Amino acid sequence: MAAIGSRFSSDAGQANGGQRGARGGGPTVEERLQRLTAVHTGKHRVVSCYLKLEPRDRSRGKYLIKVKNRVREVIQALPRLGLERGVQEAVTRDLEKIQQHLRSPGNLPATQGVAIFACEGIGLFETVPLPVVHRSRLAVDAMPLVRELASVEEEFGRLITVVLDRTSARFFEVTAYDTRELSGLRADSTRGKRFRAGEDAPSGWGEHTYNNRIRQEKQRHYEAIARELFAIDRRHPAHGIVIAATGSDAGAVEPFLHNYLVERVIGTAKLNPKEATPAVVHGATLAVREAWERETERALVHEVQEGVGVGWALNGLTPTLRALSRGQVRSLLVNADSVEAGFRCGDSGRLALSERECRGEGEPIPVLDVVDGAIEEALRQGVEVNVIYAPEARDSIEGLGALLRFR
């Protein structure tokens, strides 16, 4: 079969560029997704690599160490899959090709994640920049594992970021691949500096009157920002709100927000509205979202710990895999460091840790990592996936955990 894709421009996922493809007119994520889901691999196997490229991953090339270790583990485990010798050798070359590609800084996208799909047998080597990645993973399968690629935009949602100072406010709509500026506000204001009698104030004003005027102007400004956020949300509800400012103004706006908007504020950032380009806003919003996710992780782990005793949560690989196969899982929690070889039952498709567990469910098919398989299965079912990175929370999850929709 002819090659279905080649290496695409690595800036395709940057702010203001992801959904339209590369700035040179490259394919969109949807177009790449369609091509990847249409491949026919025959006896060949596809290597699917999802890699986190957040600042902490890039620091001192940490992502390369993770890739190198995972490639070594996968190569050592390949014999478990029972592939023909030629197919296994091709997979090994694909793994090495991915590793070599990632060694060059020029091949890395500016985004915080990337997906790479490689299959020598069908001439496939395709990279897709991603704004976020659940966790770094490397899989070998008969088809490209594209469910995470397909779900990124929906899971990220639509965020509204407001960047303000005491005289203006700029509003931005932030999605997984794009940042778009909306209409802004400008406030009439008195010069905000230390009062000087006879110089700053009109005739008859004292310092108290002058400072009170400034406070009132700020209050009207914050009220106008709150009204505009409410109006924007009414037109198209947002999944979250980020408030950014140079000083303390970010926190000062929140008391003026409608109650149901307050619940969706995910954090604040330091930004100057005069310097807020869409790309800068996109990066700052991603950073706030990342911090919010770490806090959410801790809350979810606590909920699992509370729910295990009353039957509304599970902790551990075996019970969670069973619940996932039954459609019981509402939210899947994944220990970011967990890797476990296992099997997929041939008839039922259920993931299991041992061949014995597949008794009566078809021939056990070896899989390199049931944790990655669980992520893929959860995405297929539309289950919320939460990879736990915060150390104290992560260590509380025994490989996999779950909050249940029914017992």
Give how far Cα 134 sits from Cα of 23, 117, 360, Å. Answer: 26, 17, 33
For β-strands 240-245 and 265-270, DSSP reports them as: parallel
Residue with the two structure tokens 């999944």: 239
* One-letter amino acid of 314: L
Question: Which parts of the chain register pLDDT below 70?
Answer: 1-26, 187-214
What lies within 8 Å, CB to CB, of 163 at 6+ separation is 169, 170, 172, 244, 245, 271, 272, 273, 276, 281
* One-letter amino acid of 148: E
- Does the domain at 293-407 match CATH 3.30.160.20? Answer given as no
Domains 1-155 and 293-407 share a fold: no
Rounded distance, CA 363 to CA 178, Å? Answer: 45
Strand order in the sheet with 384-388: 313-315, 400-404, 329-335, 384-388
Please tell me the CATH code under which domain 157-276 is placed: 3.30.420.60
Fold category of 1-155 in CATH: 3.30.960
Rounded distance, CA 300 to CA 152, Å? Answer: 20
Rounded distance, CA 208 to CA 365, Å? Answer: 78
Rounded distance, CA 137 to CA 363, Å? Answer: 26
Which structure tokens are listed for 65?
Answer: 């160490």
Instruction: Give the helix/strand (H/E) hosting 117.
Output: strand 113-119
How many CA atoms, within 13 angstroms, populate the side-chain half-sphere of residue 257? 19
Sorted by where each begins, the domain ranges of the chain are 1-155, 157-276, 293-407
**The model scores a pTM over 0.95:** no
Rounded distance, CA 246 to CA 257, Å? Answer: 19
Q: What per-residue confidence (pLDDT) applies to 65?
A: 92
